[in-house]
Structure 1
């Protein structure tokens, strides 16, 4: 059915959204602001500029946002304890197994992430899964972020495949919209937010975890 698989990264391949959300909520408290989970979730899946605007409004302005952002950066850096070689963001359940299964069938894989190419390489390299991917498209390489399809189109172009021959794996609404707009089929694996019914209706599959995709590999990606 398909010849390539293209993956989002944050919240899909790596469990980054939860520790980042916890860091923002803690940073907001240093400003005497109670940032709720629901409020923070407005930012999930958005480009950095859009999430910055929302957080600045919730926190009390640009200066407050900058203060909190510095707190978040410091908090995440403190996660790297002395002598601790564990990656900052762990791999999501089923990701390694799915990538290994795809590699075993010769399925071509790429990453289309709003994170920068440098962040993609660092995160996936620390988890020893970078070698599964032939191509990468980072948010610093396109003019418009998801839900614009540019990232997914760039990833398919770098693989040298037609978008219609690709399955995109996504956790967020905007990511799913981007892949659909690029002409791909989308497997949604929700992380912090469940997709709205409109996305569920358009999805190829909605799965609880990447573990659940492994039994479908032989059918979705015939040799």
Structure 2
């Protein structure tokens, strides 16, 4: 069941597809680069990777491209295309992202970030988007744990950095893999779907919203500083 009636003292955010509108340009680069290499991914192929860390994605994509080396080479091509497209600019923010972070900061709610993206790249993307200061040192990437989402490890690491019990944290996610990780950690979960509609088995245990803007009016009811 959703976290009806529960109150929380901290918030843990995903990044790509939730705070940053990064999933679409990255997906489009994967579709273009794979087609150019003669092993085109379909949109449904790409959706298999949404919310997973790089190691898990490489395992999935190695089967598609024929080898791990080919999948790693495709990653490099995609990264290069995205970098050339944005030329050092940050991804656009998702609607309501900065307003929500600002509201929670005003309420004195501690914030952490748990992204499947590699830690160094998470820091870079947050810095370019102007969001890093909301999280300070409580920023975590998918290469910092042995098991990525949908396992709870990344969220448990975030709770540890917040210095509180996992059950006191409310997770904000856009993917079912991430939502499952938060639920497995014993946290409440708000799911704001982006590219992929949520798995019904996961959705039934989350609060589903269409935008982070929809969270603002709920903050006083969900959080105790």
Give TM-score, length-normalised by structure 1.
0.91
Residue 45 of structure 2 corresponds to 39
Q: Deviations over 1:19-47 (max 9, x none)?
A: 11111110111122332111111111122
Residue 14 of structure 2 corresponds to 8
Equivalent residue of 1:186, what SS? strand
Cα gap change, 1:118 to 1:61, in 2 (>3 Å): closer
Cα gap change, 1:119 to 1:188, in 2 (>3 Å): same
Residue 181 of structure 1 corresponds to 184
Residue 77 of structure 1 corresponds to 83
Equivalent residue of 2:182, what SS? helix
Structure 2 gaps of 5+ residues are 1-6
Cα gap change, 1:22 to 1:162, in 2 (>3 Å): same
Q: Alpha-carbon deviation of 1:51?
A: 1.4
CA distance in 2: counterparts of 1:119 and 1:58, whole angstroms: 25
Residue 154 of structure 2 corresponds to 151
Structure 1 gaps of 5+ residues are none
Residue 127 of structure 2 corresponds to 125
Cα gap change, 1:197 to 1:104, in 2 (>3 Å): same
Does residue 163 (structure 1) correspond to residue 166 (structure 2)? The answer is yes
Residue 141 of structure 1 corresponds to 144
CA distance in 2: counterparts of 1:210 and 1:64, whole angstroms: 37
CA RMSD, Structure 1 to Structure 2 (Å): 1.6
Q: How does 1:60-71 map to 2 (within 5 A)?
A: 60-71=66-77
Give TM-score, length-normalised by structure 2.
0.91
Q: Alpha-carbon deviation of 1:53?
A: 2.4
CA contact (8 A) 2:13 2:114 kept: yes
More deviation in 180-189 or 142-151? 142-151
Q: Deviations over 1:59-85 (max 9, x none)?
A: 34345424422321221121134xxx6
CA distance in 1: counterparts of 2:72 and 2:178, whole angstroms: 26
Cα gap change, 1:185 to 1:120, in 2 (>3 Å): same
Q: Alpha-carbon deviation of 1:49?
A: 2.1
Residue 23 of structure 1 corresponds to 29
CA contact (8 A) 1:31 1:64 kept: no
Equivalent residue of 2:198, what SS? coil
Does residue 95 (structure 1) correspond to residue 101 (structure 2)? The answer is no
CA contact (8 A) 2:56 2:148 kept: no
